[in-house]
Amino acid sequence: MEDLGTPVLDNHLHLDPVRGRGLDAVRDFVHLGGTHLLVVNKPSWHLGVEPESGADFRPVFETTCDVVREASEILPGRAWPVLGVHPGLVSRLVDERDFSPEEASELMRAGLDQAAEFVRAGDALAVKSGRPHYEVTDAVWDASNEVMKHAFELGADLDCAVQLHTEAADDLTEVAGWAEDRGLPSHQVVKHYAGGTLAGPTPSVMSEKDRLAVAADSGEPFLMETDFVDDPDRPGAVLGPKTVPRRVRWLLDDERGDAVERAHVETPKRVYGIDTRATLSR
């Protein structure tokens, strides 16, 4: 097992203990020097759940919490669950199940309420929400924004971060403003699948060298992620679990240790209140 001499956090990936690689992916991450994971629940329909009520999301969240507990037994540090409702669900509800956009928004907000209960109980670290990254009608767009604003209200109430799945953007100051208006500081809003720089939320940068070089040189807070989907039908998507440790090694070899400290120690503490050094057990 490689020791990179620093905590190494993948801020956003998925683990499927039933259909995917599950804990074998965690072992790959650890073997290359990975120490900490933020595990986001897979979209509900990927786990065979077609919700009718908020409570129907609970098995999805429980599956994620279970695999996180097992992952923490393997990691030199630990893993935390990030729970929420994938914004793409709105299209499944509206296009395939004849929900109105308002009805879809109501169900998705109820799902977020369930996720918030896991955070409130100390069983999850943060909430996940967002809006579609593809073209939708104005009514669906507005309904999705209402879901995201509800997530910000929950984050403010729980003092927890909110990870966002949104369209590609380098300026989300309007969205960060919606969070601030609801009492959630903008730095606790995290844009998953981000480029190297982002106005507004904290960027969770996809761990490609060109994006990371921009983030490292910016001097600004950032996180690193793979968005590993753990789907046997899409074995190469998106980046593999070994990627973040490999990129940390690349940054260290390139004398960008300050960026590594920022991404894996300082920013996780600032955004989530977690101490990646103190949680290293070996």
Which pLDDT tens digit goes with each residue over 186-195? 999 999 999 9
Mean pLDDT of 35-39: 98
User: In the chain, what are the helix, strand and coil shares in percent, each to the nearest 5?
Assistant: 45, 15, 40
Could you tell me the residue ranges of all domains in the chain?
9-272
- Give SS3 for 23: helix
Quick: pLDDT tens for 236-267.
678 999 999 999 999 999 999 999 999 999 99
Q: What is the pLDDT of residue 125?
A: 98
- CA 12/CA 56 separation, integer angstroms: 23
Q: State which fold the 9-272 domain adopts.
A: TIM Barrel (3.20.20)
Question: What predicted TM-score, i.e. pTM, was given to this entire model?
Answer: 0.97
State the DSSP code for 80: E
Confidence of residue 282 (pLDDT cuts 50, 70, 90): low
Q: For residue 162, what are the contacts with CB-CB under 8 A and spacing of at least 6?
A: 126, 127, 128, 129, 151, 152, 154, 155, 179, 184, 188, 189, 190
With a pLDDT cut of 70, the percent of the chain lying above it is 99
Q: For residue 185, what are the contacts with CB-CB under 8 A and spacing of at least 6?
A: 179
Residue with the bigger pLDDT between 241 and 232: it is: 241
Q: Which residues pair with 236 in a beta bridge?
A: none
Mean pLDDT of 191-209: 98
Quick: pLDDT tens for 108-146.
999 999 999 999 999 999 999 999 999 999 999 999 999
